[in-house]
Chains A and B, each alone.
Chain A
Amino acid sequence: MIAPAPLLPLDRETKLALGLASPAFLILAALFILPLALLLAVSLQGADGLSLAAYAKLLGTPHYLKIIWNSLSLALIVTAISLLIGYPASFAIARAKGHWRSLMLACLFLPLAASVIVKAFAWTILLRSTGIVNQTLLFLGIIDHPIRMIFTETALVVGAVNIFLPFMVLPIFSVVAQFDRRLSEAAATLGANPLQAFLKVTLPVTLPGVIAGVALVFSLSVSAYVVPTLLIGERFPTLASTIAKSYLLTREEAFGAASGVVLLAIAVAVVMLSARFGREGRR
């Protein structure tokens, strides 16, 4: 950051800055940092004092390890597919001009306005055995009888990618739109083949957007609750559904809190890893 030229005498300006920042800081401390610390404390609470029982149950039983893997694998697959679609798509949107660009951006913004609940339910209509997807596949002769898609892993992944894709495209687009196309042309003039130009110029320049999109989509999909509830249900328990169940149904709060801490740890680890990867990639 560039040092600002003082508008007011120095110490008054520091006081002013502290005054401006303090309400937001207090909210952050009281409603975010303290509650998370308390959650950690609750997760360590046993019948008599400090206990790791909740973590032992979560990380020591195959049933719950499978649940953690469900959340992780869903997030990995959804993030990978969103990146494969979103990365090239961002380039086309950045290249589009005028109304075309506005139209494609509207396609990204509009779904954000529809409730996740309603979009997930719309997918149950599209994917049911009499739904459009099955009828199209039948018509094209790809399948000869309707296949069961709803309440399967396929439905879950399709629905989740549909809901989280804008969060991959928007950060990548904002970087790609500022990427100077002449850079890769210069690389070509200097003798790079298209693959080299992409790997040595385009990819490193656009990497910050990719990192931001990956971190965002991963942390959203690893903790998704509504989408799995509506599109696959009890068959595919996740960390998120375990948390909801422990708090809303079984009242095993220490266990729910421990699941929350593990979910949070996964999300934080991925965000920090990707930030680090981004820094190294830029070198």
Chain B
Amino acid sequence: MNRIGLLTAWVMAISACIFLLAPLLVIAAASFSPTPVFDLPTSGASLRWYQRIGTLDGFWPALGLSLQLALVSTLVSLVLGTAAAIAIVRGRLPGAEAFAAALTSPLMMPGLVLGIALLQSFRGIGLSNPWTSLFLAHLVITLPYVARTMIAGMTRFDFTLIEAALTLGCTYRQSVLKVMIPALAPSFLVAGLFSFLASFDNYPVSIFLTDVRSKTLPIKMLQYIEEAPDPTIAALSSLILLGTILLLVLADRFVGLSRMAGTNE
């Protein structure tokens, strides 16, 4: 690459990083605000908004519901998505490529459209339990993330290792459990992380499937922000961010962020 190209690349990369971090810094700063206005603090700092997180109206049920949905749908998707990825990459599955494309296609799907389509269907079969409908919807949201990551991970896995394990006296089950699963651990981690976040932050699908009593955290947060934006929301988001930073540091140590971003390294 010539010099001008390289310079452009660096300027763009550094500006992009600053640009991407800007709103996160604002949130972190606002969370320490001593005044009840969601704005950058001008004088002093206070931790009072962190203490108030738990007292937000309907916060604990919403957090509980969102955590449950994200955990359960991620776990189920990990099992089903991995099974499907094995069949696609390795098995003699008729129409494997078309199936792989179909399985990842909900990624490109406008969330609101999926939301109203599911609303119509659930109403059609008389399913009105919000937990079940949200769980089924979040399964459709998370499965494509898992399928995509696991298909990519399996494609890189050297399946002759399983044959080697078989030759060395392992049973088929042992060779899968002791050789394949550990080798694919980074893919599981990445798939699980993206799938969890996709479910935890989902607004456009969930909004059509909740009722007054069961609202997910993003729906509650938009409601708080529209009704009375005080720094409590900023405090809550800062805690989530802090958790993610810890996860990213761990992921970098064990998987490497380059690999998380989809390179072969």
Enumerate chain A residues within 8 angstroms of B24, measured Cβ to Cβ: 110-111, 114, 119, 122
| B40→A31 contact, CB < 8 A | no
Q: B233 at the A/B interface (Cβ < 8 Å)? A: yes
| A118→B203 contact, CB < 8 A | no
Per-residue contact bits, chain B 3-20, to A (CB 8 Å; 1 contact, 0 not)? 001101111111111011
The smallest beta-carbon distance between B236 and chain A, in angstroms, is 8
Q: A102 at the A/B interface (Cβ < 8 Å)? A: yes
**Which of A89, A116, A169 gathers the greatest number of chain B CB atoms within 10 Å?**
A89
| B245→A110 contact, CB < 8 A | yes
Complex-state Cα separation, A23 to B82, whole angstroms: 11
Q: A248 at the A/B interface (Cβ < 8 Å)? A: yes
Enumerate chain A residues within 8 angstroms of B237, measured Cβ to Cβ: 114-115, 118
The smallest beta-carbon distance between B173 and chain A, in angstroms, is 12
Q: Which of B54-62, B181-189, B254-262 contacts A (4 or more CB under 8 A)?
A: B254-262
| A39→B117 contact, CB < 8 A | yes
Enumerate chain A residues within 8 angstroms of B94, measured Cβ to Cβ: 14
Enumerate chain B residues within 8 angstroms of A67, measured Cβ to Cβ: none
| A198→B5 contact, CB < 8 A | yes
Per-residue contact bits, chain A 144-179, to B (CB 8 Å; 1 contact, 0 not)? 000000000000000000100110011101100110
**Which of A122, A166, A184 gathers the greatest number of chain B CB atoms within 10 Å?**
A122
Per-residue contact bits, chain B 222-255, to A (CB 8 Å; 1 contact, 0 not)? 1001000100011001001101110010001000
| B110→A264 contact, CB < 8 A | yes
Known: A106-B257, A260-B117. A116 touches B265 (CB 8 A): no
| A23→B20 contact, CB < 8 A | no
19 pairs, CB–CB < 8 Å, chain A vs chain B: A18-B93, A20-B83, A31-B136, A31-B140, A34-B121, A91-B13, A107-B20, A109-B244, A110-B24, A121-B225, A121-B233, A122-B22, A178-B263, A219-B109, A248-B208, A253-B120, A267-B108, A267-B109, A267-B110
Q: Residues of B at under 8 Å CB distance from A? A: 1-2, 5-6, 8-17, 19-24, 26-27, 30, 38-40, 80-81, 83-84, 86-94, 96-97, 99, 102-103, 105-114, 116-121, 124, 136-137, 139-140, 143, 147, 159, 162-163, 166, 172, 197, 201, 203-204, 207-208, 218, 221-222, 225, 229, 233-234, 237, 240-241, 243-245, 248, 252, 256-258, 260-265
Listed from nearest, the 9 A-B pairs whose CB atoms lie closest are A17-B91, A223-B110, A174-B262, A122-B23, A113-B244, A92-B13, A24-B84, A35-B117, A21-B87
